[in-house]
């Protein structure tokens, strides 16, 4: 890739995706954040990855969501993003929110997984090297570790802020009771939790009953991942399971048995509602996430600039009538 030949759009904040304050902090996040879990590793199209990152920034998407084990092989998404950042976007670092996480398996042995102080701090040090950064904006505990005292995990998060390696900290996929305790410990440590990341979509709504009200009570922002339910909430499965799809080969988290005839019928009915709104099913599913005001931002994973543009276009209509919300809720 050639260096320093990228000039971002001058109107990137005039015609942007819009921004919301994250909880009770002074930090705003774009309503759409770009996730780099898939399509940014060494096995993926490097040119398209660079185009997507540049296109996102050109449209006001300032938040790039990573984790230590994103990409194939592990760590490659951070390394590739770091290279693009250094070569193309280094002048704009202060206009960007870069987040990473640790909590899932990253390297062999007893110190490369879960939530110990040893793992979290070592992992962040490695992430900073791959990203070629002095600090990240947000560092997450990627999952709750039942075998490590929560004081240890949260203490490590607090310390990386105090060391200047992260500006804010967050948690991801924590049980409600443990999230409540984590918020308390971080607040007492003087490094309040900025954000909670969890799965949320039309088919997965459990956070409405616990995660969202608890976050609001504690002044914590919520960022949603998997808004399209691993592609189920798109036109991909309207006619059944395509031969080349992830579900057909049980690739990733979407399994063939999840797409029962009943689920496919629900997808078809949701698609009809979307069409009546002038949206694709994917666009409606993404827009629907914002019907809950507690949702600060939604993470999208894209494989092309076109798909990213389609996701951005979903923000043209994020208003739902009570009837639409009821009908969608009945199909969820």
Can you give the residue ranges of every domain in the chain? 19-232+292-318
pLDDT reading at 328 higher than 60: yes
What mean pLDDT value characterizes the chain? 95
What are the beta bridge partners of residue 34? Answer: 64, 300
The percent of residues in the chain predicted with pLDDT above 90, rounded, is 90
- Whole-number pLDDT of residue 264: 92
CA distance 259 to 87: 42
113-131 mean pLDDT: 98
Quote the CA–CA distance of 160 and 157 in Å, as a whole number. 5
**Crossing angle for the helix pair 176-188 and 150-162, to the nearest 10 degrees:** 40
Q: Which two tokens stand for residue 262?
A: 């009943």
pTM of the model: 0.95
- Position 143 scores a pLDDT of 98
Closest C-alpha among 22, 99, 14, 83 to residue 47: 83
Give the pLDDT of residue 254: 61
67: three-class secondary structure by DSSP: coil
Cβ atoms < 10 Å from Cβ of 265: 11
Segment 239-262 mean pLDDT = 65
d(CA 83, CA 288): 34
Asked whether residue 246 carries a pLDDT value surpassing 70, the answer given is: no
Helix, strand or coil for residue 173?
A: coil
Contact 160, 189 (CB under 8 A): no
Q: Is residue 242 scored above 80 in pLDDT?
A: no
The predicted-structure confidence for 145-187, as pLDDT tens digits, reads as follows: 999 999 999 999 999 999 999 999 999 999 999 999 999 999 9
Percentage of residues in the chain having pLDDT higher than 70: 93
For residue 60, what are the CA distances in angstroms to 4, 15, 143, 221? 20, 8, 29, 19
Instruction: Centre a 10 Å sphere on the Cβ of residue 62 and count the other Cβ atoms it contains.
Output: 23
Residue of higher predicted confidence among 16 and 247: 16
The tens digit of pLDDT for each residue in 254-309 reads 666 678 889 999 999 999 999 999 999 999 999 999 999 999 999 999 999 999 99
As assigned by CATH, the class of the 19-232+292-318 domain is alpha beta
Quickly tell me which residue has 């904040």 as its tokens: 13
Q: How far is CA 258 from CA 81, 88, 226, 232, 266, in A?
A: 33, 41, 15, 9, 12
Residue 5: the pLDDT is 85
Distances from the Cα of 132 to the Cα of 106, 127, 240, 267, 312, angstroms: 19, 8, 44, 43, 29
User: What pLDDT shows up at residue 245?
Assistant: 59
Write the CB contacts of 298 (distance below 8 Å, at least 6 apart in sequence): 31, 32, 33, 200, 223, 224, 225, 227, 286, 289, 290
Q: Output the pLDDT for position 19.
A: 98
| Residue 289: predicted pLDDT | 98
Q: Cβ(171)–Cβ(198) under 8 Å?
A: no
Are the C-beta atoms of 267 and 241 separated by less than 8 Å? no
Give residue 239's pLDDT.
78
pLDDT in tens, 202-233: 999 999 999 999 999 999 999 999 999 999 99
């Amino acid at each position: 890739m050639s260096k320093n030949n990228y000039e971002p759009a001058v109107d990137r904040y005039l015609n942007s995706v819009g921004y919301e304050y994250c909880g009770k902090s002074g930090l705003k996040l774009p309503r759409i954040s770009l996730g780099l879990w898939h399509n940014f590793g060494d096995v993926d199209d490097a040119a398209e990855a660079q185009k997507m990152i540049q296109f996102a920034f050109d449209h006001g998407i300032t938040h790039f969501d990573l984790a230590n084990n994103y990409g194939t092989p592990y760590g490659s998404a951070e390394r590739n993003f770091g290279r693009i950042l250094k070569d193309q976007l280094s002048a704009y670092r202060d206009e960007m929110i870069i987040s990473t996480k640790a909590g899932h398996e990253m390297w062999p042995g007893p110190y490369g997984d879960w939530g110990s102080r040893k793992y979290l701090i070592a992992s962040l040090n490695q992430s900073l090297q791959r990203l070629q950064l002095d600090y990240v904006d947000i560092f997450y505990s990627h999952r709750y570790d039942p075998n490590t005292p929560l004081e240890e995990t949260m203490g490590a998060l607090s310390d990386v802020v105090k060391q200047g390696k992260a500006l804010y900290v967050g948690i991801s996929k924590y049980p409600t009771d443990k999230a409540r305790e984590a918020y308390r410990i971080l607040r007492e440590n003087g490094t309040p939790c900025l954000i909670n990341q969890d799965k949320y979509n039309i088919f997965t709504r459990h956070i409405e009953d616990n995660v969202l009200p608890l976050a609001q009570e504690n002044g914590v922002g919520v960022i949603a991942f998997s808004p399209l339910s691993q592609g189920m909430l798109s036109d991909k499965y309207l006619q059944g399971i395509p031969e080349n799809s992830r579900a057909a080969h049980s690739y990733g988290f979407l399994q063939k048995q999840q797409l029962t005839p009943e689920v496919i019928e629900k997808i078809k009915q949701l698609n009809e509602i979307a069409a009546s709104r002038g949206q694709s099913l994917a666009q409606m599913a993404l827009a629907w996430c914002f019907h809950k005001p507690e949702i600060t931002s939604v993470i999208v994973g894209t494989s092309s600039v076109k798909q990213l543009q389609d996701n951005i276009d979903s923000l043209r209509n994020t208003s739902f009538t009570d009837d639409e919300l009821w009908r969608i809720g009945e199909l969820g």
